Structure 1
Amino acid sequence: MNALTLRPGTTVLFKRGSRCTGTFAPRGAGAAGAPIRIGAYGSGARPVIDGNGAPDAVLLQNTQWIELRDLEVTNAASPGGNRRGVHVRLSDYGTGRHYVLQNLYVHDVWGDDTKSTSGSDGILFSVVGDVRASAFDDVRVTGNTVKGVNRGGIRLVVSEWEQRPQVGSTGPVTKPWTANTRIVVAGNQVYDVGGDGIVILTARNALVEHNRIDGFQRRSAGYNAGMWPWNSDGTTFRYNEVSGGETTRDGMAFDVDQGTDTTVFEYNYSHDNAGGFVLLCNATGRVANAVVRYNVSQNDVFRGVEMCSGGIESAHVYNNTIYVGPGRSMTVINENTTAPHHVRFDNNIVVKAGDGTANLRLQPGTAVSPTHNTFVNVSGVESNPGGSTADPLLVAPGTGAAGYRLRAGSPATGAGTVISDNGGRDFYGNRVPRDRAPNIGAYEGRGVG
């Protein structure tokens, strides 16, 4: 197949139960209304593409209008080298359009500990070149399973055309920021990754939803989180579940990283992460208009919300429910910076149960001023106007995402402060009012009997 030039409308089907060794790198491109479709036929197990230690098992380079489905992809031979499972790459191409990766099983991609345009990932989209700015438009990565990879699970788009002041670029701009657009990463399962789970880079208005990550930052010597954006604007992460983050480098479920504007984390469930819940991380660039709302964190440890060394232009953390069970400890707010940072922390429930500790670590003259929060067994709370230390009467804390509704008679009912642009719904799908006081925490429905 590598010797052919595929034409628009071509279908390439591998026989189920078969195994092909080496790099599958088709040439040619589809066209609008006539994509190239690559998949499987027959009955039985998915066809296997085994990279056998090559840099890429599947390489889709300088192509567009292409769809890849129903294959098993692996690349385990000679572990430790620089390699990928599926790599989609543009080089001096301009804008490439329409890419679908669906129902793939990508596993045992044992690469090294690098992340770059040629880093080691299960699924990687990258842009390189020195002459012509390039970018992806209309990318759908849906319904895939990525398991047992080093370093990252799903990473897109790592681009050399990334320079702008928001990400800390200094000196002359030779490759200006060129946004990758209409990106959707949905319904994927990512297990046992050495570093990051799902990362969005150099993108505008990407959507990451209904994904499951379990087991990340397991083997990397660097800093990795469950899912996060970098150098991207308008990224929304919603309805995801993230667990099993290891180490405190970073090891938390979510991260609003440097060079980002209008990042939203909403309706996500985070639990059992060694690094904690969420990081607001800027060093020398910009983080602005970040929103973390209506999420549930259960038994994450070490830190709840942490700031990195740089300033935060604006971030609002509100109506989340954080539960820290027996034998676990957390610094609920960790101001790890003296740089100016404007972070609001409102309408959140934080409950510490049993042994262990929970506390706020705020700098003198703090920039974070909590209001209308419920803090139960949390120390270091110097001021919390409109807030409470009363038991919020959670239905079944510590038992999973369904356990954080409020029981009838909860003092958290209708006790929050009004936030007009609140997304319109809570973690459970209930409508959130815009013109009257909401509940505190991630649940807005009526009290449960």
Structure 2
Amino acid sequence: MTIYYVNSATGSDRNSGTNQTSAFATLSKVESLKLKPGDSVLLAKGSVFNEQFDIKYSGTDSAPIKIGSYGTGAAPVIHSGGDGIHSLYASNIVVENLKISNSGGSAISGGSVSNWTVRHVEVDKSGLSGETGAMNFRNSKNITIENSTISGAKGDGVWIDKVEGFKLLNNTVTNSHGAKADAVQVNDSSNILIRGNHLDQTNADSPKGVLVLIRPENAVVENNTLSGGGFGISAQAGKNVAIRDNDISEFHGYSWSFAVGLGDEGNTRDYDIAGNHIHDGAWGVVITAPADAPSYTRTNIKVHDNVFDDLSQSALKVDRPASGSFSNNTIESGTNATNISPSIVDAHTFTVSNNHTVANVETALASPVVTTAAVTEAPADPAVVAVHDNLKIITDTGDAHRGNLLENDTSDNGTLVLRRFGDESVGKDGLTLTGDYGVIHVDREGNYAYTLDETKLPTHDHDGHVSETFSYGIDDGNSYHSDGDTLTVYLHMDSLLS
């Protein structure tokens, strides 16, 4: 098991490469070696390599070949007119702690590979010579991408095709550009886990989608934040798919834009869509297909225990034959609950029951709710408790006055998210409101910054103090439990105007 060191600034390809003081200079020198299981190739931090790195040899399950970094400073960078890292047929590879920037092709491209882990890799502006995207794997097995960031790809941020065993964990993928670009696309793959990712197409140059699953088998999509794009999750065809506990928002761009869509590209069965917070978009969950599509089957589709708010269309749309249920969902008033074709209603194959319409989703579990069957009383739920917050301003330097709304609030699962502030939704970039006496910015973590505008302070007819109050709503990160309270800003006039 040998460690090879590569330093573009101080190395030489005439060196042995086996210690830091005798590092190689280029990746092509490493390619000339026959790497063995357990070998590592470490790139010096601060180095820049203007070449494609081809990985030709395989490790083993117990002794993978590792590509990483050493030293201090910024992560080593790979630039290339082609792919950043390219491999065919290699197995048991770990790529970590690198940056791949401005590649003409993909940042990382693997074909017929197996047992790859990519982690702590930053990708910036890949696919510049075409639309190949950032990371792509095809005809492969057991691929894991975790704790990495991908931004500004031309093409899909992550593109997976015919992969058995794919995990996408705790990554951030933002702004994949191009008319055909999605943040993540997974085609004809199985045993899929997509968890804990932040996928954002808000500022992409085309309103394509965020996550596409075409004909998946045995897939779990959970605890992700998806925002922007023409749609949130397009989970076409497939079987045994769970979409749960995700936050899906800001899906605009088209009249048909949806949070979760299925029913096209093949038969669909055994879908469980539960616990999601779906908001700030057009349609919620849609089960549909083009008018000229073949007659696919859509069976056992369960949509339950989700929260829908701020939708311009219905929470559920079913306009193609389907069987399943829509139950125990919470829907904010102003959003239609369902839009189901009369023929499907008459067929009694898709049931609707026990859904709640509420004035405000943050207080849904602590307020009387109206269900489709009857009026029921929901008991107060102590799982999330919001406590009143105060900000007292006696002197002002012009800087923002900061605090956190959530630090005195509690939840049973230890997670809190600020969902609404001043009756508006708090998006991924936070929310800025203009109050009576200043401007306040908040983010989903509860941080706030209040900047006083002294020109708005009254100069007479006051008792030395004024105040203003903002309402807010929080939940436990999954929208299962929620509560609301207020922030009051107190201003001591005598001190501020003296």
Shared topology, TM-score over 0.5? Answer: yes
Matched, 1:58 2:45: no
Instruction: For 1:237 and 1:113, locate their aligned partners in 2 and report how far apart those are by CA, in whole Å.
Output: 29
User: Match for 1:303: what amino acid?
Assistant: W
Q: What are the equivalent positions in structure 2 for 1:221-240 lying under 5 Å apart?
A: 224-240=208-224
Q: How far apart are 1:292 and its partner, in Å? A: 0.5
Q: What are the equivalent positions in structure 2 for 1:96-115 lying under 5 Å apart?
A: 96-111=113-128
8 Å Cα contact 2:107-2:127 kept in structure 1: no
Which of 51, 55, 69 is 1:22 aligned to? 51
Q: How far apart are 1:391 and its partner, in Å? A: 11
Q: Which runs of 5+ in 2 are unaligned?
A: 1-29, 290-295, 360-369, 387-418, 428-442, 445-474, 486-498
User: Match for 1:244: what amino acid?
Assistant: G
8 Å Cα contact 1:374-1:388 kept in structure 2: no
Q: How far apart are 1:361 and its partner, in Å? A: 2.6
In structure 1, the residue matched to 2:134 is 122
Structure-2 change in CA distance of 1:384 and 1:227 (3 Å): same
Instruction: For 2:149 and 2:175, locate their aligned partners in 1 and report how far apart those are by CA, in whole Å.
Output: 11
Instruction: For 1:150 and 1:200, locate their aligned partners in 2 and report how far apart those are by CA, in whole Å.
Output: 17
Instruction: For 1:14 and 1:150, locate their aligned partners in 2 and report how far apart those are by CA, in whole Å.
Output: 26
Q: How far apart are 1:190 and its partner, in Å? A: 0.5
Q: How far apart are 1:87 and its partner, in Å? A: 0.6
Matched, 1:277 2:299: no
8 Å Cα contact 1:304-1:332 kept in structure 2: yes
Offset from partner CA, 1:129-158 (integer Å, 9 cap, x none): xxxxxx413x221000000012111122x1
Q: Relative to total residues, which structure has the larger strand share, 1 or 2?
A: 2
Matched, 1:136 2:148: no
Instruction: For 1:393 and 1:276, locate their aligned partners in 2 and report how far apart those are by CA, in whole Å.
Output: 32
Structure-2 change in CA distance of 1:429 and 1:105 (3 Å): closer
In structure 2, the residue matched to 1:443 is 480
Structure-2 change in CA distance of 1:47 and 1:140 (3 Å): same
In structure 1, the residue matched to 2:267 is 286
Q: How far apart are 1:186 and its partner, in Å? A: 0.3
Offset from partner CA, 1:39-79 (integer Å, 9 cap, x none): 11111111111123x2x1210221011100011112355xx
The number of residues matched between the two structures is 346
Which of 305, 313, 322 is 1:341 aligned to? 322
8 Å Cα contact 1:256-1:287 kept in structure 2: no
In structure 2, the residue matched to 1:422 is none
**Identity rate, percent:** 19
8 Å Cα contact 1:370-1:384 kept in structure 2: no
Instruction: For 1:145 and 1:429, locate their aligned partners in 2 and report how far apart those are by CA, in whole Å.
Output: 22
Instruction: For 2:88 and 2:326, locate their aligned partners in 1 and report how far apart those are by CA, in whole Å.
Output: 45
Q: How far apart are 1:266 and its partner, in Å? A: 0.8
Matched, 1:147 2:151: yes
Alpha-carbon RMSD: 3.2
In structure 2, the residue matched to 1:189 is 172
Instruction: For 1:332 and 1:293, locate their aligned partners in 2 and report how far apart those are by CA, in whole Å.
Output: 13
Offset from partner CA, 1:210-262 (integer Å, 9 cap, x none): 100112693458xx4322322221100111001122xxxxx22122212x111
In structure 2, the residue matched to 1:332 is 315
Structure-2 change in CA distance of 1:227 and 1:108 (3 Å): same
Structure-2 change in CA distance of 1:141 and 1:336 (3 Å): same
Structure-2 change in CA distance of 1:126 and 1:180 (3 Å): same
8 Å Cα contact 1:376-1:389 kept in structure 2: no
8 Å Cα contact 2:201-2:209 kept in structure 1: no
8 Å Cα contact 1:155-1:198 kept in structure 2: yes
Instruction: For 1:219 and 1:143, locate their aligned partners in 2 and report how far apart those are by CA, in whole Å.
Output: 25
Instruction: For 2:242 and 2:264, locate their aligned partners in 1 and report how far apart those are by CA, in whole Å.
Output: 16
Instruction: For 1:191 and 1:429, locate their aligned partners in 2 and report how far apart those are by CA, in whole Å.
Output: 21
Q: Which runs of 5+ in 1 are unaligned?
A: 78-82, 91-95, 115-119, 128-134, 160-178, 246-250, 378-382, 404-426, 431-441
Q: How far apart are 1:89 and its partner, in Å? A: 1.2
SS in 1 for 2:232: strand
In structure 2, the residue matched to 1:86 is 108
User: Match for 2:148: what amino acid?
Assistant: N
Structure-2 change in CA distance of 1:278 and 1:72 (3 Å): same
The runs of at least 4 aligned residues of structure 1 exceeding 6 Å deviation read 389-396
Instruction: For 2:333 and 2:303, locate their aligned partners in 1 and report how far apart those are by CA, in whole Å.
Output: 19
SS in 2 for 1:7: coil
Offset from partner CA, 1:340-385 (integer Å, 9 cap, x none): 21131111111145xxx646332112254321112358xxxxx974
When normalised by structure 1's length, the TM-score is: 0.69
Structure-2 change in CA distance of 1:315 and 1:388 (3 Å): farther
8 Å Cα contact 1:253-1:276 kept in structure 2: yes
Q: What are the equivalent positions in structure 2 for 1:250-329 lying under 5 Å apart?
A: 251-258=230-237, 260-274=238-252, 275-283=257-265, 285-299=266-280, 301-309=281-289, 310-324=296-310, 329=312
Structure-2 change in CA distance of 1:375 and 1:388 (3 Å): farther
User: Match for 1:136: what amino acid?
Assistant: K
When normalised by structure 2's length, the TM-score is: 0.63
Structure-2 change in CA distance of 1:308 and 1:389 (3 Å): farther
Instruction: For 2:250 and 2:206, locate their aligned partners in 1 and report how far apart those are by CA, in whole Å.
Output: 19
